[in-house]
A and B are shown apart, each in its own frame.
Chain A
Amino acid sequence: MIVVKQLTKTFKLSRQQKRERGEDLSGSTIDAVREVSFTCTPGRIFTILGPNGAGKTTALRMIATMLKPTSGTITVMGYDVARQPQEIRRRMGFLTGSTGLYGRLTPNELVKYFADLYGMEKNEYQRRREELFALLDMNDFANRRIGKLSSGMRQKVSIVRTMIHDPEVVVFDEPTVGLDVVTSRNIIQLIRSCKDAGKTIVFSTHRMGEVSLLSDDLAIIHKGQLCFNDTYEEFLGRMQTKSVEDEFIRLVEEA
């Protein structure tokens, strides 16, 4: 369970950023996320949809305790991001499309590294590792350097890296960016299996296809603010245009 209340993140603008933005911004700060509230429940996929620069990544980084909120609160599995970040990180998996891997390590070494960072017991680690490596058919390349693997193989390593400690909450920040159809499918399957396992899932994207494929709940974010937050069914029911894509554009333009 993730509960986000009145979340705001303000960034100070650098001199160069101010110059680039012209005169429409007289202040020296910008709200990347402004007074955003939503709740993600276990066993449901919560999708955050928004154009580039809308504030998706900033919001997710605050949930993942990488950035501190300027105001507002976030609790993850009952833990507060400001006071108990370690507890949250122990229970969370985080995967982004731009996630890289250590090319000079092997999948085995990399997965062990993260398992150690998550403080996993040896037996538990071995059980999970065998399960996941078999599931994703990774045993053939488990001892090859990651730098020499294909992008599909690397994606599998990323997935195991995210899931090795069996997290209760999984955050996917545009996980399919830059991936081909086949490797994207691995991710879609992963998100579905997380849902089946009753995990809390937050998933951000700007691809409409993925929205309709996965969403249980939907939030649309634009310029740091939510312009829709309800179930996906409700979204479909309230549609004033013919397609999901048109409806998204309509909502964003209205906001």
Chain B
Amino acid sequence: MHTVITIFKKELIDTLRDRRTLLMMVVIPILLFPVLMAVVFKVQISQIRKAEEKKLRVGVLTYGNAQAFRDSLLSREDLQIREDIRAESTQELIQQDSLDAAILFSEDFDRQVAELEEGKIVLYFKSTKDQNITRSRLRPLINDFEKRLLSERFEKLSLDRKIVSAVRVEEHDVASIKEKVGQVVGGFLPYIFVIFCFLGGMYPAIDLGAGEKERGTLETLLTTPASRFQILVGKFSVIVLAGLVSAAVSMTGLFVAVMQFRSLPIPPELLDVVKNILAPGTLALIFSLLFPLSIFFAACMLSLSIFARSFKEAQSLITPLNIVIIVPVFIALLPGIELNAKTALIPILNVSLAAKEIISGTIAPGLLAEVYVSLVVLAGASLYGCARWFEREKTMFRES
């Protein structure tokens, strides 16, 4: 045990002094979310605000109809009305960005309305521009106009407005906000920490395996009384720790990002849920799932790394694993994929699905136990495989 601790301590110091590892393990995960969210939110908000405050250039053709509506449009300060347009060229004008939208009345609009028919109004807009805010600014004006026409109509016919609605539907969603957020965030969060659990351990794994070969230090280590298994466990622990730290740091980054945007119009219930997710109990449960998974990752990466002759070769062997890991995590994001007796046995996918349910607060203890058992078996088997791999002369002294 003393030897394992000696190796662990040395490898930890060595790893913490490596800038590449620190970058991957701490800096990127902690900065990713705050920076990403800051950039996305700020850009989006400023765009929306700009679109909302912009004076819209609207082409209006009434053909002498709806005089009151036309006057109300002309009196608005947030609209610049142009009436010198032709019906055929409206679309083109919007495409060319000479206009933001156009409202075209049918030529006999007033007559149709008066005869209790539908009067036709065509609204031209470009949904891909300004996040479709143009439409949402103009539509209420038209709706108000319609309401006014309807009330006039009801009054004329001496009818009660209520007769037009035959059914009133009241909807009650029994899903708690925690569950709803769990479905959305719960799918996304495991994605983050499973990936970082892998990425955080990647550089230490490469450095402690192939790096040791490349620097020519492996031979000297093997001539000490430390057994290969002790060397393996010492190195292994550092990789597992790095993966877990990286996952934890990424969660901290997320927390910082959420706190940073408290001023935004995020519903307080949602913030509560996020805080709930980041509560010690939930996190402890999630990390207890990540622990055996990180052992599995460490075994895979260290096996490949010690097999490689150089840092570069190890990198090219391990990097494709990224994609292999993303697939099950991504599958967990698909609708309809749920934790059951079968999916609880599939590595990575089971962690993603279980984490999702833990966050939603709907995890079944039986399935959680099954996930644990399958993960522990996987971790044990991969550690055993890695130990056997370390004993192989061909692996340790692989030469070109």
Contact = CB atoms under 8 A, between A and B. Distances in A.
Contacts of A92: 223
Interface string A54-98: 000000010011111000000000000000001001101010101
Q: Among A94, A100, A117, find the residue whose CB has the most chain B CB atoms closer than 10 A.
A: A117
Interface in A1-32: 12
Nearest to B223: A94
A104 B18 contact: yes
B69 to A, nearest CB: 76
Interface in A83-136: 86, 89-90, 92, 94, 96, 98-105, 109, 113-114, 116-119
A44 interface: no
Contact of B10 (A64, A96, A99, A105): A105
B224 A89 contact: yes
Interface stretch (B124-132, B156-164, B213-221, B339-347): B213-221
Contact of A101 (B3, B217, B222, B225): B217
Contacts of A109: 10, 13
Size bracket of the B interface:
20 to 34
A118 B217 CA distance: 16
B23 interface: no
B22 to A, nearest CB: 12
Nearest to B218: A100
A161 interface: yes
B219 A96 contact: yes
B216 A99 contact: yes
Given A67-B393, A67-B397, A113-B6, A99 B219 contact: yes
B286 to A, nearest CB: 32
Nearest to A105: B14
User: Which secondary structure dominates chain B's binding surface?
Assistant: helix
A177 to B, nearest CB: 11
Contact of A100 (B18, B215, B396): B215
A161 B221 CA distance: 11
A117 B216 contact: no
B377 interface: no
Given A105-B10, A113-B6, A68 B393 contact: yes
Contacts of A100: 215-217
A65 B7 CA distance: 20
Q: Among A105, A109, A113, A161, find the residue whose CB has the most chain B CB atoms closer than 10 A.
A: A113
Contact of B3 (A12, A96, A117): A117
A27 to B, nearest CB: 18
Contacts of B224: 89, 114, 117-118
Contacts of B288: none
B223 A65 contact: yes
Interface string B39-51: 0000000000000
Contact of B14 (A99, A102, A117): A102
A66 B220 CA distance: 10
A92 B225 CA distance: 9
B226 interface: yes
Interface string B1-36: 011001100100110011000000000000000000
Contact of A89 (B6, B216, B217, B225): B225
A94 B397 CA distance: 16
A102 B6 contact: no
Contact of A98 (B6, B14, B216, B396): B216
A104 B216 contact: no
Interface in B380-400: 393-394, 396-397
A100 B6 CA distance: 19
A64 to B, nearest CB: 5
A67 B398 CA distance: 12
Interface string B265-299: 00000000000000000000000000000000000
A67 B392 CA distance: 9
Nearest to A94: B223
A185 to B, nearest CB: 22
B227 interface: yes
B393 to A, nearest CB: 6
Contact of A104 (B7, B17, B393): B17
A10 to B, nearest CB: 11
Contact of B220 (A116, A119, A161): A161
B107 to A, nearest CB: 82
B100 to A, nearest CB: 60
Contacts of B17: 104
Nearest to B230: A117
Nearest to A173: B219
Contact of A99 (B3, B6, B220): B220
A67 B220 CA distance: 13
Q: Among A68, A114, A161, find the residue whose CB has the most chain B CB atoms closer than 10 A.
A: A114
Nearest to B5: A116
A90 B14 contact: no
B223 A66 contact: yes
A53 B222 CA distance: 22
Interface in A126-153: none
Contacts of B226: 117
Contact of B13 (A90, A94, A105): A105
B216 A119 contact: no
A214 B389 CA distance: 40
Interface of B: 2-3, 6-7, 10, 13-14, 17-18, 215-217, 219-227, 393-394, 396-397
Given A65-B223, A119-B3, A119-B225, 13 more contacts: A86-B227, A89-B224, A89-B225, A100-B216, A102-B14, A102-B215, A104-B18, A105-B10, A109-B10, A109-B13, A116-B3, A117-B221, A118-B225
11 contacts: A66-B397, A67-B393, A86-B227, A89-B224, A99-B216, A99-B219, A105-B13, A114-B224, A116-B2, A117-B6, A117-B221
Q: Kindly list the 9 A-B residue pairs having the minimum CB-CB distance in the complex, ordered from nearest.
A: A100-B216, A100-B215, A94-B223, A117-B224, A104-B17, A116-B6, A89-B225, A98-B216, A100-B217
